[in-house]
Structure 1
Amino acid sequence: MNVEHEVKLLVEEMNRLGSPGPDGKLQVKFGVLFTDERCANIFEALVGTLRAAKKRKIVTYDGELLLQGVHDDVLISLV
């Protein structure tokens, strides 16, 4: 699967699971994405897709590498 397609799917899933934050940008917690059954079926490597989206300035989040459990409360925002 190509990276651009996976990033597009990520944006769709964030729209489904997220809600507007105080700044009006759509936000979703990493733990919500990671534990969602539909996301688990779509993304082989969710963390890799998030990193690719961050590199392309489509999403923002604190840190470089997100780990399940430790970073479940990290907010991911659509730019």
Structure 2
Amino acid sequence: MDLSGEYQILKDAIKEYGTVNSDGRSSCAYGILFDKTANTLEALNGTLRAAKRQKKVAFDAEILMMPNDKDVQVVLLEIE
């Protein structure tokens, strides 16, 4: 499964709407990602799970669900 386009949208959203942590990694709350990518990512959870399996992002849950996980931080693992 090629998720490069979806991953790029996810990566751009984390950088645009998130913050940079002290370790230089960008992170964004799941609730913000959910709201901001609703029109561009049809399956945010699928993209997040695939990116997590590929060690491109990290978050502290198996699957994220709104509204319970809206404050969970999704961390972009690459540093730019």
- Shared fold, TM over 0.5: yes
Alignment pair present for 1:16 and 2:16: yes
* Equivalent position of 2:7 in the other structure: 7
TM-score by length of 2: 0.87
Structure 1: tracts of 5 or more residues without a match:
none
* Equivalent position of 1:76 in the other structure: 74
Mapped to 2, the partners of 1:65 and 1:50 lie a distance apart of 8
* Equivalent position of 1:46 in the other structure: 44
Mapped to 2, the partners of 1:68 and 1:58 lie a distance apart of 22
Identity %: 37
TM-score by length of 1: 0.88
Alignment pair present for 1:32 and 2:9: no
| C-alpha RMSD over aligned residues | 1.1
Aligned pair count? 76
State the Cα distance separating 1:46 from its structure 2 match: 0.5
Structure 2: tracts of 5 or more residues without a match:
none
Larger fraction in helix: 1
Q: Which residue identity does 2:42 align to in structure 1?
A: E
